[in-house]
Amino acid sequence: MKIKTEFWGKSSKDGKEIYKYYLTNSSGAQVVLTSLGASIVSVIVPDKEGILRDVSLGFDDTDSYFDDGAYLGRVPGRFANRIAKGHFELNGKEYNLAVNNGPNHLHGGPWGFSYQVWESRVLDNAVEFMYISEDGEEGYPGTLKAVAHYEWADDNSLKLTLTAETDQDTVVNLTNHAYFNLNGEGNGTIEDHILKLNCSEYLPTDAGLIPLGEPAPVAGTPLDFVTEKKVGRDLHEDFPALTIAKGYDHCFVIDGYLPGQLQTAAELYSEKSGIALEVITTQPGVQVYTGNWLGDAKGKNGHVYPDYGGIAIECQHFPDSPNEPEYPSTVLKPGETYQEAIIFAFSVK
């Protein structure tokens, strides 16, 4: 494994130095990471003809990441996804968070982990990022130490291990918000991609995409990916859950979830390129977002990312978990270690 480090600029927020890391395996396939948001910038893998394609959406410059509301490739935190009205109670105390998504709190707030420059170091076949979130940052209790550890393997699998520790009771939910287009970033939409989910239930939501409570079966709805189908087949159906979000932006419940156990959450495939992606995780849910509001974002290599130009498969705990005691807990206490894993395994069919 070859790992190259490159200075990429300074944060326009606090002047911290930002670095890029190029991880190249024995076959020449490559992952590019950055210390800005502990983000994935590129994933370059071979297609069925052996031609290398960059299948991850991203930007060419650091300023674009600070202006990015789509969270391309980021590790959002302290709590990924939404918390209703930016409010939760913990140990009988109320906490009010920054509101940045209508009436709700999204992805840790306007200056969450995605917009922070993480400390970074190179290991044998990995790059590791660390961020210290101070007590009270964006309204959260406790000082939290978060680590994102990326390993790139010769079999073209990218493993992300997310860990965290705290000095006070707090809530935490970490993921990666990479968008993939298996035809190559900037190469049309993902509506022709074939998706299969290991999820027979999803979380219905209100108009603000806050879960209503109990999971519901996907059977008989356009959200049924238990049997593989093209992403675009039902994308524009007149179905409340789709019209609310202008496409898919839903948390699916992974079948057979057991804490700490790796299992397949999703399988994505492009017939055009022959590239397949299996997403494996220890998390209980997967938020599938079809880039409904990318809005012709200006991405890498002069490419424009239209709506539906990439799909995010975000393995995580359920949205609004701090307000839903029946959901798997997102509470982290001193002396405990939060640890979750996500594997993006690329291959060719």
pLDDT digits (tens, 9 = 90+) for 276-333: 999 999 999 999 999 999 999 999 999 999 999 999 999 999 999 999 999 999 999 9
Residue pair 122/149 in contact (Cβ under 8 Å)? The answer is no
89 Cβ contact partners less than 8 Å away, ≥ 6 residues apart:
95, 322, 323
Residue with tokens 């049924």: 224
Catalytic residue among 314, 317, 324, 340: 314
Q: What are phi and psi of 28, to 5 degrees?
A: 95, -5
Which pair of tokens denotes residue 197? Answer: 């989910």
**Whether the predicted model's global pTM rises above the 0.95 cut:** yes
Task: Please tell me the distance from the alpha carbon of residue 212 to that of residue 318, in angstroms, as a whole number.
Answer: 12
Residue with tokens 């519901």: 216
Q: Which amino acid is at 208?
A: G
High-pLDDT (> 70) share of the chain, % = 100
Per-residue pLDDT at 125 = 87
Task: Please tell me the distance from the alpha carbon of residue 233 to that of residue 222, in angstroms, as a whole number.
Answer: 9
pLDDT digits (tens, 9 = 90+) for 58-97: 999 999 999 899 999 999 999 999 999 999 999 999 999 9
Mean pLDDT of the chain: 97
Q: Which amino acid is at 69?
A: G
Per-residue pLDDT at 12 = 86
Residue with tokens 């495939």: 269
- Count of Cβ atoms closer than 10 Å to residue 208 Cβ: 14
Catalytic residue among 177, 193, 303, 317: 177
pLDDT digits (tens, 9 = 90+) for 95-152: 999 999 999 999 999 999 999 999 999 998 899 999 999 999 999 999 999 999 999 9
Residue pair 145/134 in contact (Cβ under 8 Å)? The answer is no
124 Cβ contact partners less than 8 Å away, ≥ 6 residues apart:
1
In the DSSP assignment, the letter for residue 231 is T
H/E stretch holding 91 reads none
- Pairing assessment for the beta strands 263-269 and 194-197 based on DSSP bridges: antiparallel
Q: Which amino acid is at 282?
A: T
Per-residue pLDDT at 195 = 98
CATH: 2.60.120.260, 2.70.98.10, 3.40.50.10490, 3.40.1410.10. Which one for 2-348?
A: 2.70.98.10
Q: How confident is the model at residue 273 (pLDDT cuts 50, 70, 90)?
A: very high
pLDDT digits (tens, 9 = 90+) for 147-200: 999 999 999 999 999 999 999 999 999 999 999 999 999 999 999 999 999 999
H/E stretch holding 243 reads helix 240-245
Respond yes or no: is residue 336 known to be catalytic.
Answer: no
273 Cβ contact partners less than 8 Å away, ≥ 6 residues apart:
47, 48, 53, 182, 183, 184
Which CA distances in Å does 37 have to 10, 188, 233, 243, 315? 13, 26, 33, 31, 17
Residue pair 177/73 in contact (Cβ under 8 Å)? The answer is yes
Task: Please tell me the distance from the alpha carbon of residue 307 to that of residue 291, in angstroms, as a whole number.
Answer: 6
H/E stretch holding 66 reads helix 62-66
Respond yes or no: is residue 138 known to be catalytic.
Answer: no
